[in-house]
Structure 1
């Protein structure tokens, strides 16, 4: 729905601009497309009997989030929390934010695989895109990414 789309755009803005700064626009584009393709393949393998096609950019965006996770493990992001209905904007380590979001993808993904449950969200695409971030840089000259790790502000 619309909130999923808005969430994707927010994640792409928060995480994508830093990753693009680190690897450059062309390498970022290739990385994004490979993460999305990998996410689609993982979804197809995990849901061979699924009757709803996986269409969208969630897997590619979560691949970008995964790249941020690898490139900037000590980075901080500003988040919105409500304490007694009062909004606060603390900065937290991206590592913990991304790890939390990754973990909450696992139960519905397993449920989809085991019971063919339908959530309307590509949890396998999220997981596939994220884990693509571990392998794709190996084929895209990881030293190109590594040289920016200390140069790009977070």
Structure 2
């Protein structure tokens, strides 16, 4: 898989990606507040648990902190480990600024929240293990991935290949993010459940992101890099 870490894609409408930065700070703060030094045991009081969300079972008393329905949002701000947190925040940092630029601060925040909720619902409905808690911003960040793929597929992204090549190189976003989409679809279709990865949450976020991007972007923002200068999409090797 590709690990993106930088794109040369200047913002056109905003000066600072304030919401993207605030979301990253909030995720890190939530991790420290509710998990601290315990990096492999999330606070399941804020996790989404499908069987309790749908009232098929009562949530144990020691796991009740907030109303059940609000776990559709709170789950997206907890993570299972520092590595889990870092991966999601890296994707948000690399791609969130340009999506926020295309939508504006307020609409981007709403977009992120809705994609997170969609990811949680997809997981809750489709998971083969409805008693397994869900944590992580992957559903929401998958929505950001879908938006970037629709907005800037031609922009070159610096990546590492995590399995083979260890040095950085550039690829168009449609290859990097397209591979992410295809990999998630393969995992869902194969019924892969042994990796503790909530593939259905990713799919839910991707679908929501693709559906919402045309509605949330500014009217003058064109899809598929139709309004970016050639210098942005050219290979700067």
Q: What TM-score do you get using the length of structure 1 for normalisation?
A: 0.81
1:122 aligns to what?
A: 198
2:169 aligns to what?
A: 90
Change (3 A) 1:27 1:52: same
Q: Which moved more, 1:44-53 or 1:136-145?
A: 136-145
Structure 2: gaps (5+ residues)? 1-80
1:20 aligns with 2:96: no
Change (3 A) 1:73 1:141: closer
Contact kept? 1:23, 1:144, Cα under 8 Å: no
In 2: Cα distance, 1:18 partner to 1:138 partner: 14
Q: Deviations over 1:91-137 (max 9, x none)?
A: 1101001111111122332344xx8x343211111111111122113
2:143 aligns to what?
A: 63
Instruction: State the shift of 1:23 in Å.
Output: 1.3
Counterpart pick for 1:73 among 153, 157, 170: 153
Q: Name whichever structure is richer in helix by fraction.
A: 1
In 2: Cα distance, 1:137 partner to 1:13 partner: 18
Aligned residue pair count: 149
1:50 aligns with 2:130: yes
Contact kept? 1:79, 1:91, Cα under 8 Å: yes
SS of the equivalent of 2:157 reads strand
1:103 aligns to what?
A: 182
In 2: Cα distance, 1:144 partner to 1:31 partner: 18
In 2: Cα distance, 1:96 partner to 1:66 partner: 13
Counterpart pick for 1:38 among 102, 105, 118: 118
SS of the equivalent of 1:77 reads strand
Q: What TM-score do you get using the length of structure 2 for normalisation?
A: 0.55
Q: RMSD of the alignment, in Å? A: 2.8
